[in-house]
Amino acid sequence: MTKADIINDIAEKTGIEKLSVQASVEAFMKSVKTAMEKGENVYLRGFGSFIVKKRAEKTGRNISKNTTIIIPAHYIPAFKPAKEFTEEVKKRVKKPAMV
């Protein structure tokens, strides 16, 4: 499902114009991005949490040059689904979608 599919689905279910739904979806995504860029987590009860994870410094290898490099510690965005959300998916999905 793409962002366009989500916008169409919400517009169809609510009767709100697609442009208004698109503006709302874009504003929601921007709010989540802005909060995470500040290092804040976003919690949506019953859905999940958008969290900022810290990755520790580690040693990596460039196999084509046979050299070792240090990958510095950094932060990455992650999503952790709520327990209820995970349980619903487990119950309802019979066969995973082929990507």
Residues 58 and 31 placed together within one structural domain of the fold: no
pTM for this model (two decimals):
0.78
What's the number of domains the chain is made of?
Answer: 2
CATH, residue 52: 4.10.520.10
Residues 53 and 36 placed together within one structural domain of the fold: no
Residues 30 and 49 placed together within one structural domain of the fold: no
pLDDT for residue 95:
72
Determine how β-strand 74-81 pairs with β-strand 67-71.
unpaired
In the predicted model, what is the mean pLDDT of the chain?
Answer: 93
Residues 36 and 46 placed together within one structural domain of the fold: no
Range of the domain at 86: 41-93
Among 27-31, 55-59, 64-68, the minimum mean pLDDT is found in: 64-68
Give SS3 for 43. strand
98 lies in a domain? Answer: no
Which residues are paired to 76 by β-bridges?
53
Q: What are phi and psi of 44, to 5 degrees?
A: -120, 100
